[in-house]
Amino acid sequence: MDMIKTTIDGREIEVQRDRWALEVAREMGIEIPTLCHHSALEPYGACRLCVVEVTKGKWTWLTTSCDLPIREGLTIRTDTPAVIAARKTALELMLAQAPDAEEVRQLAEQLGTKSPRFPDRNESNACILCGLCVRVCKVVTGKMAICFSNRGTDRKVGPPFDRSSDECIGCNACVDICPTGCIESRDEAGIRKIPMLKTELKLADCEVCGKPFAPIRQLEHMQAKLREKFGDDFEAGCICPVCRREQTAARLHNVAEKIG
Amino acid sequence: MNLSKVDNIIQDYKGNPSSLVMILQDIQEELNYLPEPVLNHVAGKLSLSVGHVCSVATFYSSFSLEERGKNVIRVCDGTACHLRGANLLKDEIVRALNISEGQTTEDKLFTLEVVACLGACALAPVMTVNKKYYGQVTREKLLATLEKYRQKDSCVLSEPNDSKKTD
Ligand code: FES
Ligand code: FES
């Protein structure tokens, strides 16, 4: 493993070569705002909030730290005036793109950007096009039930061709990962509805308590994945998390009694 | 919809998913646009997610997901052409065909697209109809050209030489 020395905000540390600068800085307790970063996903560099100033030899430049691999001879600063200015601009642009995003407004306030110079798009929208939903969907389903369409100012996130997608398993991963909470999902009368994706999926009833708990399609997807791993006759069962917890607790209790 | 042609195109690229853009280009060449069912079919054949194909097809402005006219007019509004009155030329076409940018005439004869630089700046203002280049276009030249295509489509359909050639 290649260990190299680097300096972040004046503190020299030794890190493994090619680790992401953002992660290293955060481990050192340095605060860097992000909106499109998730440690379980590949970096993407969409929100531009994590910019830092990098110096190598005679050259200094601004770049995103989430997708900056640490190499020999890099000196990184996370708090220079240029960095702050770049973050403010990114936030201003985001405010114009997504005036309804609470998180963006809060960050903007923290950095002291109140009124953006750019006119907002006059439509209620909280999506900042960070691509987290698209990326997580790819990881969970191996597909893209939610995707980017168009480009430039027309770029948007939604189901392919704006139609309900067969590839959506209703797992809610996109709902949970969205930094601005703009994908809504609700379970109603045994149906999971994600309006933004035009998804409506029937929920399966728990074998034990009979309450609907997860989309049938999601359970089938999981079953298939588990069978890949554990063989064709693996049976996952259709038990909701609450009942499963109860069963496990009961089993542990039995064991504990036997041991005495 | 005849999918066997599409399948042949996919076959030409050995069903390689990284050739997606080329495949879509060839399909558009063949069908004049990219119908949604065809894109779904392509996704299936290349084992790609429909979402992936959708992102790619909607990203590039040279792909059209709507049916286009028999003749696609591209007016250049690149720097050189802009300076030489590209927007006047565009307005003239808009008036002559009664369609705006990106639209198709009702008789499905013409589609108007505005692009940035057709790579023939010395001839500015430039426009192309299908693959044929027209340089230093004036109002008269434009109207005559449109008329020519109208005539042509009422009799023969083949264009003599479709390659990069100027008039
Ligand atoms: S976290 Fe680096 S660009 Fe968004
Ligand atoms: S600017 Fe029109 S051809 Fe280059």
Q: Determine the distance separating the centroid of ligand 1 and the alpha carbon of A114, expressed in angstroms.
A: 21
Q: Which residue of A has its CA nearest to B54?
A: A160
Query: Do residues A180 and A103 make contact, with C-beta atoms less than 8 angstroms apart?
Result: yes
* Domain A1-123 fold: Ubiquitin-like (UB roll) (3.10.20)
**Looking at residue A122, what is its pLDDT?**
63
Residue A29: Cβ-neighbour burial (10 angstroms; 0-12, 13-18, 19+): exposed
Q: For residue range A31-47, list pLDDT tens digits in order.
A: 999 999 999 999 999 99
Query: Do residues B119 and B62 make contact, with C-beta atoms less than 8 angstroms apart?
Result: no
**Looking at residue B158, what is its pLDDT?**
46
- Residue A236 — very low, low, confident or very high, per pLDDT cuts 50/70/90? confident
Q: Report the b/e string of B145-164 with b at 16+ CB within 10 A.
A: bbeebeebbeeeeeeeeeee
Q: Mean pLDDT throughout A209-216?
A: 94
Q: Mean pLDDT throughout A55-67?
A: 96
Pocket test for ligand 2, best of B74, B81, B113, B114 (most atoms within 8 A of CB): B81
Residue ranges matching CATH 3.40.30.10 in chain B: 71-163
**Looking at residue A260, what is its pLDDT?**
73
Who's near A89: CB < 8 A, 6+ residues apart? none
Closest CA–CA distance from residue B44 to any residue of chain A (Å): 12
Yes or no, beta carbons of A165 and B51 under 8 Å apart: yes
Q: For residue range A110-161, list pLDDT tens digits in order.
A: 888 877 788 777 676 889 999 999 999 999 999 899 999 999 888 999 999 9
**Looking at residue A40, what is its pLDDT?**
93
What are residue A210's phi and psi, to 5 degrees? 80, 0
Per the listing, tokens 């639209």 go with B103
Mean pLDDT of chain A: 92
Q: For residue range A178-193, list pLDDT tens digits in order.
A: 999 999 999 999 999 9
Pocket test for ligand 1, best of A30, A34, A107 (most atoms within 8 A of CB): A34
**Looking at residue B166, what is its pLDDT?**
55
**Looking at residue A259, what is its pLDDT?**
86
Query: Do residues B70 and B107 make contact, with C-beta atoms less than 8 angstroms apart?
Result: no
Under CATH, which architecture does the B71-163 domain have?
A: 3-Layer(aba) Sandwich (3.40)
CB-closest option in B50, B52, B58 to A150: B58
Yes or no, beta carbons of B50 and A160 under 8 Å apart: yes
Q: Mean pLDDT throughout A66-84?
A: 95
Domain ranges of chain A: 1-123, 132-248
Q: Low-confidence residues of chain B, pLDDT below 50?
A: 156-160, 162-163
Question: What are the pocket residues of ligand 2 if the criterion is a CB atom closer than 6 Å to any ligand atom?
Answer: B 76, 78-81, 117-121, 124, 126
CB-closest option in B36, B39, B51 to A167: B51
Q: Mean pLDDT throughout A64-84?
A: 95
- Comparing C-alpha atoms, which of B66, B52, B51 is closest to residue B20? B52
Dihedral class, residue A252 (left if φ above 0, else alpha if ψ from -120 to 50, else beta): alpha
